């Protein structure tokens, strides 16, 4: 899935769109996506000026966005202005290595269960085959009016 299809699925836009490409998707089971980390990212100005590091919460957000793409694909759904996909929880979060400019963050999510619009995923983000962060994420799909 290229950036044009991602933009049709996710409501996020620069600077908060954190998935550049979907590399693999196994319908209803798993996804592998990527985020290219460049020195031009706006958060690097302040995190940290002398040693830029991607904030951990943004790595988790990138994993949630990849997970949302897996959910929409599993449901054969394209979200509209009435559908919102929220973070509902994080468990077992572990940060293993820093992510710096020039890294390519590989985002992996495995769907553990889905019921009544609530999705639970086992996720991890990798750089050069090393785990940068891992977590179980819970997300909720809701209709808003």
**Catalytic residue annotation:** 47
What are the structure tokens assigned to 39, written together?
A: 């020195």
Q: Is 61 helix (H, G, I), strand (E, B) or coil?
A: helix
Residues 68, 35: Cα–Cα separation, whole Å: 15
The whole-angstrom separation of Cα 107 and Cα 104 is: 9
CB 73 within 8 A of CB 85: no
CB atoms within 10 A of CB 105: 24
d(CA 138, CA 6): 21
């Amino acid at each position: 899935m290229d950036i044009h299809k991602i933009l049709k699925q996710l409501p996020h836009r620069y600077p908060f769109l954190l998935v550049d490409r979907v590399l693999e998707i196994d319908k209803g089971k798993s996804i592998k996506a990527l985020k290219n980390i460049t020195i031009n990212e706006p958060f690097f100005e302040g995190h940290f000026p002398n040693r830029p590091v991607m904030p951990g919460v943004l790595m988790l957000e990138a994993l949630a966005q990849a997970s949302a793409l897996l959910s929409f694909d599993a449901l054969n759904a394209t979200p509209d202005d009435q559908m919102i996909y929220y973070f509902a929880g994080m468990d077992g979060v572990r940060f293993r290595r820093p992510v710096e400019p020039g890294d390519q963050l590989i985002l992996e999510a495995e769907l553990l269960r889905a019921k009544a619009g609530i999705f639970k995923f086992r996720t991890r983000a990798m750089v050069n085959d090393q785990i940068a962060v891992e977590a179980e994420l819970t997300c909720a799909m809701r209709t808003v009016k």
